[in-house]
Every structure is written in structure tokens, then in C-alpha cells.
Amino acid sequence: MIGLISATAAGAVARDRLATAWPTRTRVYDGSVGDAVRAAFAECEQVVCFLATGAVVRLVAPLLNDKTSDPGIVCVDEAGRFAVSLVGGHGGGANELAREVGELLGAEPVVTTATDSAGVPGLDTLGFPVEGDVAGVSRAMLDGEPVALDAELPWPLPALPSNVTYPAPGAAPTIRVSDRALEPGDREVVLRPPSLIVGVGASKGAPVDEVLGLVEDALREAGLSERSVAEIATVDAKADEPGILGAAERLGVPVVTYSAEELAKVEVPNPSDAPLAAVGTPSVAEAAALVRGGELLVPKRKSERTDGQPAMATCAVVRRLARGRLAVVGLGPGARDLLTPRAKDELRRASVLVGLDQYVDQIRDLLRPGTRVLESGLGAEEERARTAVAQARRGQAVALIGSGDAGVYAMASPALAEASDDIDVVGVPGVTAALAAGAILGAPLGHDHVSISLSDLHTPWEVIERRVRAAAEADIVVTFYNPRSRGRDWQLPKALAILAEHREPTTPVGVVRNASRADESSRVTTLGSLDPAIVDMMTVVTVGNTATREIAGRMVTPRGYRWQEEPK
Ligand code: SAH
């Protein structure tokens, strides 16, 4: 819950805008400001005060306890110009809240946490448990001091600044990425990726302490960190076994279960008859840990009982393969404000960026310092697709970029055709050239429409022609991509001639060059009078259907509403 507190009429107006926009997330605290702040501090995860920072500092100072548990506090000034993240920037989420509040009220978010303001990720915000000198190493990272990245395990991390180098230059502050139980040294942090799967088998009624003790001993003796345990894996039949659920809860990890049939297929070093009889697979602990692949670090071991009774639990530990992340990101047609916030986030998260050099130039300033950029020229599609997938397979966070939407005549399909299910893939949609052009021309895509690429480099002309003919016969609005280049000049006139067999010469045609870019130009002409010479590879050409009209210089394809047909 976000507590809202204001003292004046102007503050109350801004407060109410937040309360109206986020009815389920916010609660208004009325009454004396002091009491309101104390109550909100005690009851809410976050507090927004429409008060001077000085007043808030005095009120909350006696209440502050610990940055891991205190609420995040944001102050908004009377004039609503600034949203200041005052307390709990990371842990309390105040930095993020200041941005959200700023966006809603049109106020400038003020964030002074060093790592955030420099566009460098805070080591405690990477989504992994972190141990050691977080403040010291973050500081060094920010100050541009050489910092060593000692990644024992490749794991998708957000890109780190360019002063973070691999391999380790020696005595520098160090970021280690490890699941081993090492103590961070001086000026060192250890990031704990979720790399360990603990397979567990248990007899009915096995006590929590027995299961947990077994897992803890196994990890300790193998020199592994509990904080890298991602999950406990077992067989479906044990999904409700209290000892397993209790141990998982105490470790703070989920329980994942597999069918006996699936587990029986996994090759394991230590199968046995007991589980085969009980649940139908010769191995539970080892098989459940290994079923998704990985390296067996601790083979099956049994719990030890002090009372001489038979062991009731078994466990095995596997280091799973890192799942890399491939983000296929559409950059939009060119203008920065047509690049989506989600695309920006993905670019900043990537440790490796793959793309055509001219697209990389479009967004280079958005990349975090230190991002590895693998750029190539026109025509190297296959190489780009392979490179992106290969990098993701190595456990990297990869962004593969394309203009417009990366799935439209672009890199998504060749990349996904290369990819297997051992990487995570996310797609970020972008504004296509056809949509950007449509918005410039008016409303040409108001009814059914199709995009056709006239490039016959990879598609035989007969196929293209068949599709143009089909669109012509079906009276569909057509946007031509890749319409004309120096070496390919007869295709556009031919395609237009096919459409002209079914549409009047007066049919409106929109030609848009460099939509949303600095040298944008556009014109609305007709099928009968379009001069193909004004068209090049920076252009899309949208041909209307038989109902499309030019109205006030704009191209409009009616939706066919009855009310628009009747005389006024
Ligand atoms: N993925 C892109 C299309 C790439 S194919 C998209 O979703 O839009 C390349 C063709 O797209 C170019 O030959 C041109 O026809 C068209 N194109 C791309 N960006 C454009 C822009 N800003 N203005 C006009 N046409 C553009």
C-alpha cells in the first residue's frame, strides 16, 4: 500500500490525482501531518508526502530503522515540480516510485542514489543474492576504478560499465559470480546465481529437520552456497510431502515436481529398487535434479539418523546450465519517441548487442557502458542470427535489434529458426514502417490491409506476383516494403500495374520516405500518376482499396460505418 499525505490545498490536489489514478494501491492519511506520517510509516510499504523535504526529514528521522525494512518515501513539492526519492531508494522502491509519481504528475523524478543516477545497476538490484562489500564495490564501479569480473558461471547479467573487465587484473575490487561457498574477501562481492537444483526423495512422514539437515550437509560438504539453490525437485507423488515442503520453505525456494515416468528415463549413477517399488522410478533425488540437464555435483546421499532408524530422505545436487536470454527488440521507424520504454529497458539490460551497424548507431547512446556490441553490415543476416543465438547459449543476455518491428521482414524469424529451447526468448514489438507511414498519410489502413515486400532477393518473383494479384482481386489495401532500389526498378511498376487491373487510376497512393526520421517526406498521389522514380529503399508505398479516398489531403480508407454513408 502507498500512503498519501498532504498538508495544503495544492498538495491535496496532487494527492487526489494519485489516489484517483491508483485507487487500489493508495490510501489517503488525513489529520495532523505528524500523526499521518507516523501511521503511514507503520502501515505502508511506501509513502508519498506532498510536503517540503525538510518537514518530512524531521518527521521520519525518529522512525527510521533499517533500509531493508523501512518504507520507501517520496516527497513531492507544493508546486508539483519534483518527486524526490528521499528514503529507501532501492529496498523501499522509492526510486522507482519517484519515477512513477513523476510520470503521473508531470514532475521531474529526483534520484540521488549513486548507482541509479549514473545509469549503472546497483549490485543489490541485479535480482541475485549478493554478499560482501556491496557499497565499496558499487562505489568503485561508479568512480571508474578498474573492477574485475570473475564469472565462474556464465549467467545473464545486465551489462556492467566498461571499467568492469574480464579477466581479473589482480588486486582490484572484484565482482565474483559463483555458487561456491566462498567468503567474499576485502573489496569483493559475490553474486549468487540460481544455479543449483537439489533433488530430494523422502519416505512418507520424513521430518522437515531431517530433510533440511541432509540438504544443508550435502551443500556444505560439497562447498556450495545455499543462496544459489534455485529449487527443490522431486517426483509428483511427493508434491505434498510435508518434510519436503517444509525444507523448501526454510530455504526460501519453490518445489518442482516431475512424473515418475519422466524421471525413470533419466540416466543416473545410483538407481535403486526401493523408489521403483514405492513410486515407480529407480531414482528420485538424482533423476529429479538431472532431468533438465546439468552437472551432478553431489550424487545421491542419505540422511543420517541418530536414533538408528532407517534414513527417510535422499538428496542430490546438480549445477544446471545457465539459461541465456535473447531479446528480439524492435527499435521503431527512427524517431526516439517511437522507441518503446520496454525496448529501452531491454537494450539497457543486454550484455551483448547484435545488429546491423546503422541500427546500432540509432541507439548506441542508450546502451550501458561496457555492453559488447557485435555489429555487421547489410546482407549478414544469417551471421547475425547465428551470433545472437550462440551468445545466448553461452548464458549471455543478448539483444538482437531491428528497425520497426524486429519480427517484420527482420531478424526475429532467422534467429528463432536457429534457437532451441535451452534459451529464453522475449520479443519487444516495435512501430513498423507501415504503421508509421499510415499515421503520416492519414488513415489508409482503416480496413483490411497487407504488407508485401517487393524484394525478390530471397523470394521468387512469381511468388510475389501471386500475392500482389491476390491482394488486387480481394481489394485489400497494400503497403509495399523494399519497393525499389537501384538494381531493382521494374518490380514496383509491375506490381502497381497488377493492382491497376482492379482499381481506378484515381485510387489514392501514399508514398512515405524516412518516416519519423530527420529527412521525412511524404505525398499522397494516385495509382495513375505515381512516378516510381521518387521511390527508393527508404520508402514504403501504400496503395488504397476501391473505397479509399483523399480527404483534405489525407488518405482515408473507410471502415464502412453506416452512419458515414447517410446524407447529413
Ligand atoms: N522491420 C521493419 C522493416 C524492414 S524491411 C519494419 O517493421 O518496418 C526494410 C524496408 O522497410 C525498407 O526498404 C523500407 O521499405 C521500409 N522502411 C523501414 N523503415 C522505414 C521508414 N522509417 N520510413 C519508410 N520506410 C521504411
Q: Cell numbers of 201, please?
A: 526423495
In which residue are the cell numbers 576504478 written? 145
Q: Who contacts 42 (Cβ-Cβ below 8 Å, separation ≥6)?
A: 63
Residues lining ligand 1, Cβ inside 6 A: 333-334, 402-405, 408-410, 432-433, 436-437, 481-483, 512-517, 537-540
Could you tell me how far CA 55 lies from the centroid of its own chain?
38
Q: Given a cut of 90, is residue 44 above it in pLDDT?
A: yes
Second CATH level (architecture) for the domain 325-431:
3-Layer(aba) Sandwich (3.40)
Torsion sign (Cα): 48, 51, 56, 57: positive
Range in 75-84, 124-133, 245-254, 386-395 with the lowest mean pLDDT: 124-133
Question: Which ligand 1 atom sits nearest the alpha carbon of residue 537?
Answer: 13
Neighbour order of strands in the sheet with 449-453: 449-453, 477-481, 539-543, 508-513, 521-526
Atom of ligand 1 nearest to the CA of 402: 1
Domain with CATH 3.30.420.180 in the chain: 196-319
Answer whether residue 217 shows pLDDT above 60. yes
CA–centroid distance, 332 to ligand 1, in Å, is 9
Q: How far apart are CA 307 and CA 309, in angstroms?
A: 6
Most confident of 121-125, 484-488, 520-524: 520-524
Domain 2-112 has CATH 3.40.50.11220: yes
Q: Three-class SS of residue 533?
A: helix
Please compute the mean of the pLDDT values over residues 330-354 and round it to a whole number.
93
| Sequence ranges of the chain with CATH classification 3.30.950.10 | 434-556
Q: Residue 499 class from Cβ within 10 Å (0-12 exposed, 13-18 middle, 19+ buried)?
A: buried
Give the confidence band of 424 by pLDDT, cuts at 50, 70, 90.
very high
Amino acid 524: pLDDT: 97
**CATH architecture, domain defined by 196-319:** 2-Layer Sandwich (3.30)
Which is more confident, 234 or 11? 234
pLDDT at 38: 93
Q: Is residue 318 within 8 Å of residue 196, measured between CB atoms?
A: yes
Task: Indicate the pLDDT class of residue 367, thresholds 50, 70 and 90.
Answer: confident
What's this model's pTM, rounded to 2 decimal places? 0.74
Mean pLDDT of 76-101: 90
Q: What is the pLDDT of residue 168?
A: 61
**CATH entry, 434-556, from 2.60.40.1120, 3.40.50.1010, 3.30.2270.10, 3.30.950.10:** 3.30.950.10
Q: State which of 337, 378, 403 you would mutate to test the pocket of ligand 1, scoring each by most atoms of that ligand within 8 A of its C-beta.
A: 403
Q: Given this model, what pLDDT does residue 79 score?
A: 85
Interval between CA 535 and ligand 1 midpoint (Å): 13
Question: In angstroms, what is the span from residue 388 Cα to ligand 1's centroid?
Answer: 22
Closest CA to 559 of 435, 448, 438, 440: 448
Burial class (CB in 10 A: 0-12, 13-18, 19+), 488: middle
Residue range(s) of every CATH 3.40.1010.10 domain in the chain:
325-431
Assigned C-alpha cell, 74: 517520496
| pLDDT of residue 309 exceeding 90 | no
Q: Sheet containing 188-191: which strands, arranged edge to edge? A: 130-132, 188-191, 174-177, 147-151, 164-165
pLDDT at 167: 66
Q: What is the mean pLDDT of the chain?
A: 92
Q: Is the model's pLDDT at 171 over the cut of 90?
A: no
Other residues' Cβ atoms within 10 Å of the Cβ of residue 493: 12
pLDDT value for 363: 94
- Across residues 525-554, what is the average pLDDT? 97
Substitution site in 456, 511, 540 for ligand 1 pocket (most atoms within 8 Å of beta carbon): 540
Q: Quick one: pLDDT band at residue 457, thresholds 50, 70, 90? A: confident
Any idea what the Cα angle at residue 184 is, between residues 180 and 188, rounded to 5°? 125
Could you identify the atom of ligand 1 that is nearest to the CA of residue 520?
23
Cβ atoms of 444 and 505 within 8 Å: the answer is no
Query: pLDDT tens-digit profile of 223-243?
Result: 999 999 999 999 999 999 999
Residue, of 138 and 167, whose pLDDT is higher: 138
Q: How far apart are CA 13 and CA 42, in angstroms?
A: 24
- Is the pLDDT at 563 greater than 70? The verdict is no
